[in-house]
Amino acid sequence: MQSHDLYAGALTLVLRHDLTGCARSAHQAVDLLERLAASPTVDGDTRALCEEMCKRLLDHVGPTA
């Protein structure tokens, strides 16, 4: 998956979670955001934003069962 696809997918899932409260969407967003944060092509600011959003999502819905 190319990085622009990861960004689009992560944004879609974050929005779906925010609008519906869907925990599955939050966990899937965390997966994509972690992949983005680990990418060597992502700048430090974006990496920090991805990591912070992962923390917030997991704080809200908890870890996967």
Burial of 25 (0-12, 13-18, 19+ CB in 10 A): buried
Scored b (16 or more CB within 10 A) or e, 34-51 reads ebbbeeeebeeeeeeebe
Q: Which pTM was predicted?
A: 0.90
Alpha carbon distances (Å) from 42 to 3, 20, 26, 30, 37: 9, 29, 21, 16, 7
What pLDDT score does 1 carry? 59
> Is pLDDT above 70 for 65?
no
> Is pLDDT above 80 for 19?
yes
Give the pLDDT band (50/70/90) at residue 3. confident
Question: How confident is the model over 48-63, as a mean pLDDT?
Answer: 94
